[in-house]
C-alpha cells in the first residue's frame, strides 16, 4: 500500500474515532477503548510519517 495513502486513511480514521469519542463522552459512558484506539492510530501515523521521510 502506498504510504501517503495509508497516512490519509489513518488520519481519516483518527478524526472519525475522535468524533465517536466525543459522542460517547457526552453520554457519560466509558471511553477507554476509544482512547486506546486513538493512541494506536497516533503511533501508526508517527511510524508511517517516519517511513515516508526515510524514502525521501
Return all residues near 45 (Cβ < 8 A) that are at least 6 apart.
7, 10, 11, 14
**Domain boundaries of the chain, sorted by first residue:** 3-55
pLDDT score, position 56: 82
Sign of CA dihedral 28, 33, 38, 42: positive
Sign of CA dihedral 16, 22, 28, 33: positive
The per-residue pLDDT string of the chain (56 residues; one tens digit each, 9 = 90 and over) reads: 699 999 999 999 999 999 999 999 999 999 999 999 999 999 999 999 999 999 98
Amino acid at each position: 500500500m502506498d504510504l501517503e495513502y495509508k497516512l490519509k486513511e489513518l488520519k481519516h480514521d483518527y478524526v472519525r474515532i475522535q468524533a465517536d469519542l466525543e459522542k460517547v463522552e457526552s453520554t457519560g459512558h466509558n471511553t477507554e477503548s476509544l482512547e486506546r484506539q486513538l493512541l494506536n492510530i497516533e503511533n501508526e501515523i508517527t511510524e508511517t510519517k517516519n517511513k515516508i521521510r526515510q524514502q525521501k
